[in-house]
Amino acid sequence: MSATNEHSGERLAPVTFLPGVTRPSSPRSAGPRFEPVPDPEPGALSDERDAELVAEPDYESQVAAAIDLVARKLRSRGLSEQEVRSALSGAGVDRAVADDAVHALTERGWLSDEALAEQLVHGAVTRKGMGRRAIPQLLVKRGIARDVIEIAIDALPDDDADRALDLARDKARSLVRYDDETAMRRLLGMLARRGFGGSQATSAARTALADARRDAGGGARVVRFK
């Protein structure tokens, strides 16, 4: 219905205010005034979906996330069990979760200290020319257990003397311009850094230097220490 207007004679419908809106004190000076809606109580959730978003992941999801983290690292290099545990600990993974992740990775064949030790030993011998004394130190730094290291080293062929001589010959060719004492000192130092020492290194250095001098046209010379 409409209320009567004094000028037009028509009646205007009464104003109905929405919830939360109070009638203004003066219709000419102010519009509708909105009352603030109170905030929900702390911790209140709007619906179940919000609850799922803030909920902690279940245990199985945590283990799966830990496995995924390690799997990404394994794409670039092999890791020992100790290195995996250190990586998970650094990422804030719970110890029980890490234990189950390591167990799962081992069962899948993705994690094996024995296989890693074999790879490292093969690389140390073929690419770096390292001797038996230096290889265990390399594996210890990677966190591999002593018993696993011993098995990997025992599988090596007993050819340190040949490898030491090969290394010494490669180096000796660049040392023929030095006197015997200087050349021998440098050869023995290089062999020691690769894990060769004692009489084995000395014999390899002397033979290699004598061969290098002969090949350079200087004839075979007896290498003596002063």
Secondary structure (DSSP) of 131-184: -TTTHHHHHHHTT--HHHHHHHHHTS-S-HHHHHHHHHHHHHTT-TTS-HHHHH
| pLDDT at site 100 | 96
| pLDDT at site 200 | 87
Query: In angstroms, rounded to a whole number, what is the distance separating the alpha carbons of residues 209 and 201?
Result: 12
| pLDDT at site 197 | 82
| pLDDT at site 2 | 47
Over the chain, what is the mean pLDDT? Answer: 79
Residue 173 burial (CB count, 10 A): 14
Which residue type is seen at 203? S
Tens-place pLDDT, residues 33-77? 545 545 545 444 444 544 443 445 789 999 999 999 999 999 989
- Min mean pLDDT across 32-46, 97-111, 118-132, 146-160 is at 32-46
Per-residue pLDDT, averaged over 119-146, amounts to 90
Predicted model pTM: 0.59
Please report where in the chains the tokens 């409409």 appear, as a residue.
Answer: 2
Tens-place pLDDT, residues 163-207? 889 899 999 999 999 999 999 999 999 999 888 888 889 999 999
| pLDDT at site 212 | 93
